[in-house]
Structure 1
Amino acid sequence: MTDRPAGRPPGEAAAPSAEPGGERIDAVVVGAGFAGLYALHRLRTDGFSVRLFEASDAIGGVWNHNRYPGARCDIESMDYSYGFSEEIQQEWNWSERYASQPEILRYLTFVADRLGLWDGITFGTRVAGADFDEDTARWTVRTEGGATVHARYLIMATGVLSTARTPDFPGRERFGGEAYHTGRWPRSEIDFTGKRVGVIGTGSSGVQLIPIVARQAAELTVFQRTPNFTMPAQNAPLAPDFVREWKATYAERRALARRSGFGHSQPTNPARVMAVPDRERTAEFERRWESGGLYMLRAFSDILKDEEGNELCAEFVRGKIAEIVRDPKTAEALTPRGFPFGTKRLCSGTGYYETYNRGNVRLVDVRRTPITEITETGLRTGEQEHPLDVLIYATGFDAMTGSFLGVDIRGSGGRPLREKWASGPLTYLGLTTAGFPNLFLLTAPGSPSVLSNMVISAEQHVNWVADCLDHLRRHGLRSIEARAQAELHWVAHVNEKADETLYPRADSWYVGANVPGKPRVFMPYVGGVGVYAQKCDEVAATGYEGFELR
């Protein structure tokens, strides 16, 4: 370990800053989060020449940019970590059940040091576009600085929750106070003491941020459009005996996670929600509430499929909100209705509902009284103006597609990816898209992605891609491209699996509902992490069925 700032390269000499203009290499990786760092390591280990471009000056991806107070993972830290290296998982020690943003960044820095990754990363370099040359079967990758790199393969590890979205409220640019977005938080510490703070949004970042700001601010006004189901995180320091036991059984736990539905080792109750007596069902809900985090999603095997049983779970959580929040009107405003439990991203926080019992916290329902404009001194709704010194946008991301479409990627015939995905993302296996040879999209639409432990999913994707590139190399092949028919069959399969669940009934960011004008398409694969990996392996084992290899 080192005492330098987490996430930063260890010095100018070890982290090249010169643009490698015109360089010819095997692969370009875009993005230095969990997926990109592992892709760099795995491909270099396999003997490929690789260059990783990172727009920031630090590694970490989403954990580099989401530095807001309270930022924390909702997957347990012992699960939310790399499993490819026994040495790394034994050497690193997590301090808490759910790791905070600073600790995750320290972990990734430790991994980059341990694997010697820094010299493969070009920092401060945003990829602007990439064009596929059909004659040479190579990608010409262009940076915003004007440099070009010619690569056989382009691997997009840009993350699916990395394009921050700020609603275009009238007058937003006029606000004279401090303004922040949780997805682009500054590195310096922000002091809210004595200030009037407004937070727009009560999704995951808002739920984590709000209790901390409330303890500092003179006044906190929360502007909520849609209340979300929020579970108590039940976070705590990790006991040494617990860590030793987990590390001793890591092999079994990782195997379980890779076979599971969501990519981690949380226990799932195999019983069906309506097949047990009322008392037993309530007791299971209570156990899951006390376990905290996302455990409620595994309370019963069909909780995301059985409408009646799902509603019983939702009513249980609504009862908890009514017990915690003392003011009945505020409690009702915080109570989610109109969508099944768990079909919007389930939130996990500490003291979230309790925060609304504080005298300095107000809740404004902007569905009832919408925000009409941002003023120089605050925010105006349909009822009144709210004077503010600080305005925080906890308004999420252009999820799943935003980061891929933010790069001008043009495939065969110069067709832009943005044009192809105009009516919604089309992928084969959530890894590739027809018409774009040698392009790989990590944790993209059509894969388990955001409905899984992203580290497990990233590792599985990188391993599949690396094995594929090795297959091409061994057989003297220049390119691989998804067939259009295979892609259509996969998209139909993804939709079929989603329709077996309650997920499509919610206006969530899983379907792009948070971005005006975005096509409504359910994007993640809900068939399960283990089932998905098996399907990917079967495709590879048959000589890459559904692909054209040239």
Structure 2
Amino acid sequence: MTIVEGASSSGNAPPNPEHGDRLELDALVVGGGFSGCYMLHKLRDELNLNAKLFEAGTALGGTWHRNRYPGARVDVAVPGYEYSMEQIWNDWKWTEKYPGQPELQAYFNHVDKKLSLSKDCYFNTEVYDARFDTESATWTVSTKDGKRARAKYLIVAVGFAAKQHVPDWKGLDTFAGDIYYSANWPTEYVDVRGKRVAVIGTGSTGIQIIQEWAKDAAETTVFQRTPNTALPMCQSLLPPGVQEDRASRLQIFEDSKKTNSGLEIWPIPQNTMDASPEERLAAYERLYGGGGLWFWNTNYQDLLVDPIANREAYDFWAKKTRARIDDPRARDLLAPLEPLHPFGVKRPSLEQNYYELFNKPNVRLVSTRESPIVEIRPNGIVTEDGQLYEVDMIAVATGFDVVTGGIKNVGIKDRYGFDVADQWNKQGVRTHLGMMVSGCPNLFMPYSAHSPSVFSNGPTSIEFQVRWIADVIRKMRELGVRAVDVSKESEQAWKKEVTEIANMTLLPKAKSWYMGANIPGKPVEPLFYLGGMILYRERCWETSRGNLDGLIKM
């Protein structure tokens, strides 16, 4: 077996700053994605703090640096999926409506150049331990390459999908061909021409890989557990001049701050069944035909709360999708007449020609719900019914240990010495506002659990959270406060609000990564805040009002 991985810590990274391995800092940021980059900029350039950033990869970009697999691209249209800072967008032009990974990586290179971030970043630097010392009110952070940093403020900006989940298949190490993992894809082109390939998983990552590999492979076998309610991307090039209207660009960012989604969009302000059948059909056709996630996030306002309304939307989607699939069995597996879960409680992926691929004679679909994978052999994959699928290459796209996986990698210990990720795995996630953890003073976690994150536009949500964190730190300095913490009661109240709002929706009716249900043994619970950005902002400002009245000052 050959496990083909991405670039390691050998010489692909920009040079690290020439500092010693013992750092005394005001603030340390862990993670170099959207939230980490913006956080470093705020701390260093606006608060004038001695701040550095540790990044496990070889460059900035976070998800868009790590996810180099074929077909990787964002599912939020631009402009919009970007920083709102004019100094960055005023001389940056996107080429596609839904940019791919290479263009997104180029965007982060542009951000780096404009903000001069790399000079304060340590690449190939993976944190494994972070501990708070009450006496000095500082965090001590250790890395696998021997660095140690002490900082007053620790911002863990690893996002929610930093650790891939791989099932423990028997015989995985016996496979004679090449195995590729979506979260650690090689930088070199993977040639599948003339090969028999398998893709395990049909989430957004799996769909994107399948669409690329099936173009050239001699035979493609897709292993699906749950059908993806994927929507047409309707990709397009952005015509010249469309991004050069400054007033329009500014209005997009301003409008995005006033919506629950962090995008300049709203659901239809009407319940589904209050519209006539003709009105519903016209609305569905308009949203579906517009492409992207519009059919999901701008549908009727009761889509995710009313089972009858939800079924109406699903039936429309299924009819549209089934018409694209020739084989009756593939049709029933990919778009069953009876849904396995409500529409939209698992994030729909965007596809470009996914369903048509199964009309090709050399693309086959295997249902692991009917017959799970039980073994990997040197020449292929065996399912429970005894069927051997002979393949030369395997792509593993089985999702992430959302939130807790990335936090576990960092090894955060609270002021009492307890490992935060271990506590979360045993008792469930506990935060206040999705950004602070009781017993972890001066620790902040943007774009993590219990925040709107995955139910909002990432950059919009991140910019708000980073501004809030920076405002808390600014007030601490003005007030002469050494450290701030949150109470257990605040955590409990926030978890209750997260859970109560989720339970008003259809979300708990599916075993999804939104609920942590994709990882065996992990507590099944709502992991993200569905109250929307408007209410979330109010809750955050309530906590930091006045002289940080909603926090414990130490």
Short-chain TM bin: over 0.9
Match of 1:372 in 2: 374
Match of 2:264 in 1: 265
Change (3 A) 1:12 1:289: closer
The Cα of 1:543 is off from its aligned counterpart by 3.1
Q: What is the identity, as a one-letter code, of the residue corresponding to 2:127?
A: V
SS at match of 1:466: helix
What is the alpha-carbon distance in structure 1 between the residues aligned to residue 67 and residue 522 of structure 2? 24
Q: How do 1:490-509 and structure 2 match up within 5 A?
A: 490-509=494-513
8 Å CA contact 2:13–2:123 kept in 1: the answer is no
Which digits, 9 at most, give the CA deviation of each residue in 1:264-286, with x for residues without a partner? 12353212211100111011111
Match of 1:163 in 2: 163
Which digits, 9 at most, give the CA deviation of each residue in 1:508-531, with x for residues without a partner? 001111111111011000000122
1:351 lines up with 2:353 in the alignment: yes
1:394 lines up with 2:393 in the alignment: no
Change (3 A) 1:8 1:124: closer
1:136 lines up with 2:122 in the alignment: no
Match of 2:239 in 1: 239
What is the alpha-carbon distance in structure 2 between the residues aligned to residue 357 and residue 13 of structure 1? 43
State which drifts further: 20-29 or 34-43.
Answer: 20-29
1:255 lines up with 2:282 in the alignment: no
Q: What is the identity, as a one-letter code, of the residue corresponding to 1:65?
A: R
- Of the candidates 413, 418, 421, which is equivalent to residue 418 of structure 1? 421
8 Å CA contact 1:259–1:531 kept in 2: the answer is no
SS at match of 2:242: helix
What is the alpha-carbon distance in structure 2 between the residues aligned to residue 66 and residue 113 of structure 1? 22
The Cα of 1:541 is off from its aligned counterpart by 2.0
Which digits, 9 at most, give the CA deviation of each residue in 1:446-491, with x for residues without a partner? 1001121111111111111111111101111100101111111011
1:300 lines up with 2:300 in the alignment: yes
The Cα of 1:250 is off from its aligned counterpart by 2.3
State which drifts further: 398-407 or 216-225.
Answer: 398-407
Match of 1:192 in 2: 192
8 Å CA contact 2:14–2:58 kept in 1: the answer is no
8 Å CA contact 2:516–2:525 kept in 1: the answer is yes
8 Å CA contact 1:285–1:296 kept in 2: the answer is yes
Q: What is the identity, as a one-letter code, of the residue corresponding to 2:399?
A: G
8 Å CA contact 2:475–2:548 kept in 1: the answer is no
8 Å CA contact 1:30–1:157 kept in 2: the answer is yes
Change (3 A) 1:22 1:244: closer
8 Å CA contact 2:544–2:550 kept in 1: the answer is no
Q: How do 1:128-527 and structure 2 match up within 5 A?
A: 128-245=128-245, 247-297=246-296, 298-335=298-335, 337-383=339-385, 384-421=387-424, 422-527=426-531
The Cα of 1:228 is off from its aligned counterpart by 1.2
Q: What is the identity, as a one-letter code, of the residue corresponding to 1:445?
A: A
State which drifts further: 236-245 or 459-468.
Answer: 236-245
Q: What is the identity, as a one-letter code, of the residue corresponding to 2:499?
A: N
| TM-score, structure 1 as length reference | 0.95
What is the alpha-carbon distance in structure 2 between the residues aligned to residue 20 and residue 126 of structure 1? 16
The Cα of 1:320 is off from its aligned counterpart by 1.1
Change (3 A) 1:13 1:210: closer
What is the alpha-carbon distance in structure 1 between the residues aligned to residue 100 and residue 32 of structure 2? 19
Which digits, 9 at most, give the CA deviation of each residue in 1:84-134, with x for residues without a partner? x11212211000110111101100100100111111100111111011001
The Cα of 1:257 is off from its aligned counterpart by 1.4
State which drifts further: 330-339 or 303-312.
Answer: 330-339
Change (3 A) 1:415 1:306: same
Q: What is the identity, as a one-letter code, of the residue corresponding to 1:61?
A: G
SS at match of 1:425: coil
The Cα of 1:163 is off from its aligned counterpart by 0.7
Q: What is the identity, as a one-letter code, of the residue corresponding to 1:363?
A: L
What is the alpha-carbon distance in structure 1 between the residues aligned to residue 223 and residue 464 of structure 2? 39
8 Å CA contact 1:30–1:36 kept in 2: the answer is yes
The Cα of 1:255 is off from its aligned counterpart by 2.2
State which drifts further: 326-335 or 14-23.
Answer: 14-23
Which digits, 9 at most, give the CA deviation of each residue in 1:155-187, with x for residues without a partner? 001121121111111111111101011121111
Q: What is the identity, as a one-letter code, of the residue corresponding to 1:539?
A: T
Which digits, 9 at most, give the CA deviation of each residue in 1:418-456, with x for residues without a partner? 233122110000000101111111111110011211111
8 Å CA contact 1:17–1:123 kept in 2: the answer is no
Match of 1:3 in 2: none
What is the alpha-carbon distance in structure 2 between the residues aligned to residue 460 and residue 123 of structure 1? 26
Match of 1:4 in 2: none
8 Å CA contact 1:256–1:264 kept in 2: the answer is yes
SS at match of 1:249: helix
8 Å CA contact 1:179–1:391 kept in 2: the answer is yes
What is the alpha-carbon distance in structure 1 between the residues aligned to residue 105 and residue 17 of structure 2? 21
SS at match of 2:548: coil
8 Å CA contact 1:230–1:346 kept in 2: the answer is yes
SS at match of 2:547: coil
The Cα of 1:218 is off from its aligned counterpart by 0.2
8 Å CA contact 2:222–2:364 kept in 1: the answer is yes
Which digits, 9 at most, give the CA deviation of each residue in 1:361-390, with x for residues without a partner? 000011111111000111011231011100
8 Å CA contact 2:542–2:550 kept in 1: the answer is no
Which digits, 9 at most, give the CA deviation of each residue in 1:241-270, with x for residues without a partner? 43234x432222212212212211235321
- Of the candidates 525, 531, 534, which is equivalent to residue 535 of structure 2? 531
8 Å CA contact 2:408–2:422 kept in 1: the answer is no
Match of 1:90 in 2: 90
Change (3 A) 1:266 1:70: farther
What is the alpha-carbon distance in structure 2 between the residues aligned to residue 326 and residue 273 of structure 1? 31
What is the alpha-carbon distance in structure 2 between the residues aligned to residue 15 and residue 478 of structure 1? 34
8 Å CA contact 1:219–1:360 kept in 2: the answer is yes
What is the alpha-carbon distance in structure 2 between the residues aligned to residue 351 and residue 16 of structure 1? 42
The Cα of 1:31 is off from its aligned counterpart by 0.6
What is the alpha-carbon distance in structure 1 between the residues aligned to residue 347 and residue 521 of structure 2? 21
Deviating 4+ runs (over 3 angstroms): 11-15, 17-20
8 Å CA contact 2:433–2:451 kept in 1: the answer is yes
8 Å CA contact 1:19–1:147 kept in 2: the answer is no
The Cα of 1:8 is off from its aligned counterpart by 13
What is the alpha-carbon distance in structure 2 between the residues aligned to residue 505 and residue 19 of structure 1? 51
What is the alpha-carbon distance in structure 2 between the residues aligned to residue 542 and residue 272 of structure 1? 40
In structure 2, runs of 5+ residues without a counterpart are 1-6
Q: How do 1:16-35 and structure 2 match up within 5 A?
A: 16=16, 20-35=20-35
8 Å CA contact 1:137–1:479 kept in 2: the answer is yes
Across the aligned residues of Structure 1 and Structure 2, the Cα RMSD in angstroms comes to 1.8
What is the alpha-carbon distance in structure 2 between the residues aligned to residue 223 and residue 491 of structure 1? 36
Which digits, 9 at most, give the CA deviation of each residue in 1:184-209, with x for residues without a partner? 11111101100000000000011112
